[in-house]
Structure 1
């Protein structure tokens, strides 16, 4: 009878808590086999431990890395989330070396990375909002401008910004978007399409010598919103010069000054800023506005390059409106992914309830 009872208890194919604990113990025994009694586990892997601590220092102190030589600080900040990939590599090395010192040291960069980016691993979408916006660098060499325009319009955005508009292709974009957006203006190489009336449209001087930024007032049902569209200069990574971004930085400062002078309380900035929210060179802009992706996004929201997104340089930044959700859209014929966000313009109920 005792044998029959034993069979009945293990009929769940060993899925009970005790059996799972046994499996974990056996796995731990395999991993640590040969470690017991080995006093060198604390002496081995010192180099790996030092690298782990240095990695933590770079991530935690990225703001202190100087830009004086090749804009190294900005380059580091652009790809800062990817530094986390070094942690599992160092973990494998520590296990292979059977180094307790390295394993303990690895906790430091793991905690730092989690503190910086752990919140981006889960969605913060609220599912509300009364206005959907989108922005897309369509790429001047886009072979299918009409298809790209239709794809962005399919997002359901009430207001769409397009950057890197080639003059010869502007009529194609206008024709493709005409049935969805009753109002639009193109200024230089950027344009804004809206389902709601626009006024006070004009260029924004970002110190380039030609127009790659604009401003417009959009009369949404929940109130007037100042919309800025910007395409900041590109940056390059060169062996001799490093991260060349001087013109981008000057343009970011000029854009920040324009936004600082804005008289409307509600502001939305759409565009390709050629920089991430971590990049200190964009502080003139990012210190005034919130990222919809950071506040209410689904994951990291990387947008460039479209074939293998590694950084979010296409931004939706807001002030005076509440981000509710933010996401990337499917790839088009561009080398950038479009990005979209849902925001709440009418925040009066939130203000009265606080």
Structure 2
């Protein structure tokens, strides 16, 4: 279905604003019988707007090789994905969800960002981003500068952090949608990447039918004299790991003759679970920490681009007397 762009909210360039394209993008997704690639999706959204050639080819002043309308489709696609109206069944491909079909039928062309921002999945996404922001502020509170001036490197750092935070939350969402066994393999791979396996150690997921409450085992040396036992719980947000699950894990550790282990979940831990784990020397990793570690040790992600910055080596310019 095509849309006359002139009936949408327009920006100063005469192009539709990104939020005006939300129902357009969702309508385009609804017409696809199967998942569509990001490039095809973007092109289909733009083609449905019936833009005259001068607007279709309008370039960004800052990035003269980029068509404004092409780059603008990034925002509605991202917004709809975060809200759960479209999903990515595989990397770089998009498909409308049952929720997307429901809201398209309910609101049609009147779908707005305000409606999307009230959806549970969008709220969850924002809450997790806030948690990451609060963690960052706590860790950096000692170095906070009240100066109004902002160095360019600080601006770059802020942009990169915001981008990586979003990737981190998206990563966590993908993990929650996987199978429990996939999650168990993931955490074993992560701890191995973090160096727990050592040089000659072994890491493996226990048999699904007979794991005795232990999901993964890492022998840190060839003889297995030092062992890490893992419990992995793929829970949705709000379904926090409680004290009873922690006690059960400690019981499983005792069965292996150990009193130390790592408990990893995609959700969070109750206060009772945290207190019990602290007394029993159990290391806890919640969903936010898990996705941060995956980025840090590059598990399940690719490095997209790296930037190098420079400053002056003052010692180089010191002349001998």
Tell me if both proteins adopt one fold, taking TM over 0.5 as the criterion.
no
TM-score by length of 2: 0.28
Structure number with the bigger relative contact order (C-alpha 8 A, sep ≥ 6) is 1
Task: Tell me which structure has the larger Cα radius of gyration.
Answer: 1
Q: Which protein has the bigger strand share?
A: 1
The answer to which structure has the higher helix fraction is: 2
